Structure 1
């Protein structure tokens, strides 16, 4: 926020404005012109905010959030609020007076005060970090802690070298990093942020749907409990029909909630199938045996060797060479049998992991038919276990399994 440079820019360009609507708004005021083109770096603005350790975290955070005020009314409320803060050293007062003294400063920080449209404002970078990163590269090429004359010479050499590289790029049409220019980095970051925002929006929509269905489900269960209580105290065709309608609605809501939960837990990545094991892969599962240990691997090798020797002694040369289809098939079947035996000897039965059951009464809200008191699912089951078993057979069995899991 170099005030002299910004004011000089405004004075130099205020007479060159050729857009009629901008010219009428600016009316020769160079500081007004800055509100059409200036957005101040948030990082540099934050560095100038006083520490204010004598104030609470909420107060300091509200000052930092000055940049994100949405309306002019919020800005006016902030102006009235900040002057009421305790400031024994006058640090906050001087900081705020500096912001008010330069008319263009707050307009370059807060979008609702600026003449830049919201779309263009969001297109511009909120910080100058990308440009600041150039300093580190310059320092790596020239060094630091140099004298004035030496630094001029170093930067002159760097500029000459960079100019030569640019000329080579123009003449050869080959860029050393063709996909790492500033425009590419801006485009990649914009695309990434857009996708993140879209994904967050979809996730928020799904979560809101699940929360809404859960609320409806709790209300429906409460209404159903009241309707059943009414049907029990005053049995009639209307009350029975009302209970059936509520039960159908409850079942429909449970189905919708199950689908919504499945969508909320789904992943955009697909399943990756495990590769199929080949016929020869079974022998690789044999455990390693010591050289002096007559284990299964040694016995299988001896058996296979004896079979091969027997075939070579009892068959003609053509058969031994594998030219006979019959013997080739016999060899293949023998090899498969040996491999199957080795696989059976080395296979270890795997234990299937038991799925953890969820509490089937979670979220239940019931009404005591005798007292009218609202009860949780567990309280209602403790008072009316027989009615629970009779009316909710599936939930009763799930509850029994859940208690067995808890031990």
Structure 2
């Protein structure tokens, strides 16, 4: 096999669900970014999932023939499944997922962090092959790009791995307890819960791998708190505080739960889940207050009728859902929230290929997401795939609408 230089672009892969179990259906996501200080010319990007039925393959050739590459987010390009002979494989012919430019010879990716886009392959049926110990196995895949910093692009290749887990492995449902208790009172005891069924039964007290550890982090602690022993053998766990002190909050707090797996070779893989506990405002004592009608914090909802950019004029919640077309063509909406104080936008994506949705503008069916939005947040809705449709509804905590679309921004002065 020919030796190839490393790739010039940066690739960050993940799966949904986060833990790919054998025999299950997963989606593979990839964020691509040019972190070079100069532009990168690229003729194509190809993802090789190493088709086969062995432990080091993610899926069989037949399974990849049924997988569905999605329209890329953030770039005008074609992303398709192709049965071709790939670089470094001699005469081998197999399925690749290839990103190619629309009608031009090369992509030109801007330097630094000014360019980023996402790729997604849906409905990958993970094969049933695990390693000899039947626990954690790593599928070995490749990213192939034909690229250069100057001159004619050449073939560059790098590997990436996708962990495969036995049936029954789980890491999900990290919530407050009960799960519908999203808003808590200031100073009240809080309980967090989760579902975790690691592929190993041994914990950190065992001196040799494989084993697992679990930690939880929030802004009241200096370092993550070890909660490994909080996870029971039946796959459930909870956290109510550390050092004998009950967990209480003075402000809205995000929590992150980490599961770190150390395989038999000592290699570590970390998964994480997040949840948010919202603290209700402090009780206020008022005197001489007269109300002529009922007081309400959560007021009349406002439908968001177009994908655009707006500013939240008060705190509130944004409910979005997405639905495919009647022909089950895919549809996707991206909601980006930029904090009032500025900084990087945080994107949230919901995708589906299930069709047939009511056209009354108010009925919410299909995959959905509910986002808390602070006053002054910039809200950007982008319908990246228009075969289907989406619904969005703004629930203000007060009377403030989403103000927008924003007027054109002035060009920076010279």
TM-score (norm 1): 0.16
Larger radius of gyration: 1
TM norm structure 2? 0.15
